[in-house]
Chains A and B, each alone.
Chain A
Amino acid sequence: MTWANILIQGALIGGFYALFACGLSLMFGVMKVINLAHGDIAVVAAYSAVFLVPKLHVAQLWAFVVIVPLFALIGYVVQRTLLQKAIDRDPFTTLLVTFGLSVVIENLLLEIYSANGQSVNIGELVAKSWQVNSVIYVSYVSLVVLGTAVLVLGALQIFLSRTSSGRLIRAVSDDREAAQLCGANYKHVFGVAAAIAFATVALAGIAFGISTEFDPTAGGINLLYAFEAVVIGGIGSLWGTLVGGILLGVAQQFGAHFNLEYQTLAGNALFLIVLAIRPQGLFGRKVSLNE
């Protein structure tokens, strides 16, 4: 029964990692940008939910109603200004710029809100869980997060394959010049992709803030988990990211079962094993590795 619990808890956490990772995956897929500030944006979203949302007289439970559209807007603006400038130079510059942003954001949060732990307060709901038997408890929050991840990934999949905007994004991602020749404004498409990525990462950040206590330095480790989920699942595959997230979550729970110190280490080990044996990831195509 303990093993069943490890699998269930791992899968629940995996949903959260997948929610984190889909923005990272999308931005890499469309504009070949690894946003090293990805985790920190999530932390900013969580801080906004704690400090900004109450000022608008909105309960923190409903923070996402305000935060998600706001971050979509921020994503569009940041992409059209700073990130586009960096992309115009080369991929190398994009890495340096997003890493610089990450360090600046982290230390700004540290200066403004101190290193004290915070959490998004949603009242008694956070502690409620569904007791399956004497060993297995399923927390409502993580169940909702897993459901949200599946919903977001599904919606993204439908958006990319069925709608004209989605097709435009895929066209630009496949061949920017050809899409441009057909009249696509690739800069706007990049902005839209960034807006979606920022919106999903804001959602992930709020979920993160609800389920655990966080501080300004939490961004880095979140980026690592999201990145590991993407690589394990396979670069460029949305459902692969969900599977990657779940496998990562299970590996971490498995490690934590033996010793709490092994939790992250077991996830890192799984990542390195996948990298050694199947560098394109479980569901990835081989070509996608050499961008």
Chain B
Amino acid sequence: MSDTTLPSSAELPLLIERSTFSPIYTLVGTVIVFAFFTAAPWILAASWVSVLSNFFVLLIMATMWNLLAGYAGMVSIGQQGFVGLGAYATLYFAIKGMSPFVAIPFAVLACAIIAYPITYLLFRLRGGYFAVATWVIADSAMLLILTVALLGGGTGKYLPGLTNLSPSELDHDTYLATWFVAFIVLVATYFILRSRLGLVLSSLRDNETAARSSGAKVTSTRRLIYVIAGAGCGAAGSVLAISQPFVQPGNAFSLNWAAEMLFASMIGGMGTIEGPIIGCIIFFVLQQSLQNLGAWYLIIFGAVAVVIAIWQPRGIWGLIRDTTHFELLPVGYRVSASSLGTRRRPSRDVN
């Protein structure tokens, strides 16, 4: 920065823009990606489709956890509670005769409604105490579900309403459900972060005291994000229930969900949209290559996450962005100087 002097805005107009490349490319890229993954069941082998389906479930969770911790600064280790509640809400609606696929939005709504009052208890605590309290609530939710005989108690229950589909139809529909939910979650997160709310979140992430004193409504923003993250993890739980399709408390409320979403966001890079995507890809490569070695994939993944948290807290995507100034899904603005006949040169990131 020291060797370049910016010309004054009188001789060179300063442009404030979102991206280094035209938004048309982003749109075209999104359409291509959407078309590819929608057509994937007809293109890829069945084993790949089921891996992708699991990938999208984790991607939903990691994106939601990133929104919660990376942007709103709330480290929750209790999001598996909403995964479980989403799965069980789907099971409940299915038992009452609804198609599990139709039940997804209702399960999401149920999780949002449950998340809202919880914030009034949780927001009395900060930092580490907040984190463990979210775990207590997830644990309580699991223990409550265990006592409901209708939902199969401790042994679990098969999700009804899927028997009229043939196995291959079921695989396709399950995959498409997870992909559509993941796509909606990603697009929604992108637009949330581009909106005014995203601006408040970024200010909160960077300096909470400054954000408060500038009039940002910190608590209500956090509340909204917690509800959104609860609903999103509920959506993940709902599609998880359909893909299993055996719903069992120990699995639906497993702490491993919290661990995986947390590690994926940390390794990929918190506070960026792209980070969790990269983290999830790394996680699945590791899991697939070590799948015969029991829990070692989680041990390695956790150890890498610890190392990254200490020595590279902005994660892999943070490292790439800091060195190349490249953004795949830009949500902030950058100032660039442009003049007649010369190329736009990005000078400083503002996000």
Which residues in A have some Cβ–Cβ distance to B below 8 Å? 28, 32-34, 36, 82, 85-86, 89, 91-97, 99-101, 103-104, 107-108, 110-111, 220-221, 223-224, 227-228, 231, 235, 259, 261-262, 264-265, 268-269, 271-272, 275-276, 279, 289-291
B residues in contact (CB < 8 Å) with A = 69, 73, 75, 77, 121, 124-129, 131-133, 135-137, 139-140, 143-144, 146-147, 255-256, 259, 262-263, 266, 294-296, 298-299, 302-303, 305-306, 309-310, 313
Given contacts A101-B306, A104-B302, contact A275 B125 (CB under 8 A): yes
Report Cα–Cα, A269/B137, bound state, in Å: 10
| A224 adjacent to B139 (CB under 8 Å) | yes
Residues on A with C-beta less than 8 A from B135 are 220, 224
**Complex: how many Å from CA A104 to CA B309?**
14
Chain A interface mostly: helix
Minimum C-beta distance from A278 to chain B (A): 10
- B129:A261 contact, CB within 8 angstroms: no
Contact in complex: A261, B146 (CB < 8 Å): yes
Q: Which residue of A lies closest to B77 (CB)?
A: A99
Complex-state Cα separation, A81 to B173, whole angstroms: 50
Cβ contact within 8 Å between B295 and A111: yes
A–B Cβ pairs within 8 angstroms, 7 of them = A89-B310, A91-B128, A97-B310, A103-B263, A259-B147, A275-B124, A289-B129
> CB-CB < 8 A to B147: which residues of A?
259, 261-262, 265
* Complex Cα–Cα for A110 and B77 (A): 21
Taking a contact as CB atoms under 8 Å apart, the answer to whether B132 and A279 are in contact is: no
Q: Are B129 and A231 in contact (CB under 8 A)?
A: yes
The answer on a CB contact under 8 Å between B262 and A96 is yes
How far apart sit A235 and B121, CA to CA, in the bound complex (Å)? Answer: 17
Closest 8 CB pairs of A and B: A34-B128, A100-B306, A107-B295, A104-B302, A279-B124, A268-B140, A96-B309, A103-B302
B121, B255, B302, B305: the one contacting A276 at CB < 8 Å is B121
Q: Is B128 within 8 A of A28, CB to CB?
A: yes
CB proximity of B42 to chain A, nearest CB, Å: 37
Beyond the given A34-B132, A100-B263, please list 19 additional residue pairs across the A-B interface where CB-CB is below 8 A: A82-B310, A91-B128, A93-B309, A96-B75, A96-B262, A100-B303, A100-B305, A100-B309, A103-B255, A103-B298, A111-B296, A224-B135, A224-B136, A224-B139, A231-B129, A235-B129, A275-B124, A289-B125, A291-B126
Asked if B262 and A34 sit within 8 Å, CB to CB, the answer is: no
Which of A82, A228, A272, A290 sits near B126, CB closer than 8 Å? A290
Neighbour of B131 across the interface among A28, A32, A34, A82, CB < 8 A: A34
A23 to B136 alpha-carbon distance, docked (Å): 19
Bound complex: CA of A94 vs CA of B129, how far in Å?
Answer: 13
Closest Cβ neighbor of A228 among chain B residues = B136
Residue of B nearest to A107 (CB): B295
Are B129 and A34 in contact (CB-based, < 8 A)? Answer: yes
Residues in A with CB closer than 8 Å to B266 are 96, 100
Query: Given the known A-B contacts A96-B309, A99-B262, are A104 and B136 also in contact in the complex, defined by CB atoms under 8 Å?
Result: no
B residues near A104, Cβ cutoff 8 Å: 299, 302-303, 306
* Contact for B309 among A97, A262, A264, CB less than 8 A: A97
User: Given the known A-B contacts A92-B75, A96-B75, are A265 and B306 also in contact in the complex, defined by CB atoms under 8 Å?
Assistant: no
**CB-based contact B262/A108 at 8 Å:** no
Q: Within 8 Å CB of B309, what residues of A?
A: 86, 89, 93, 96-97, 100
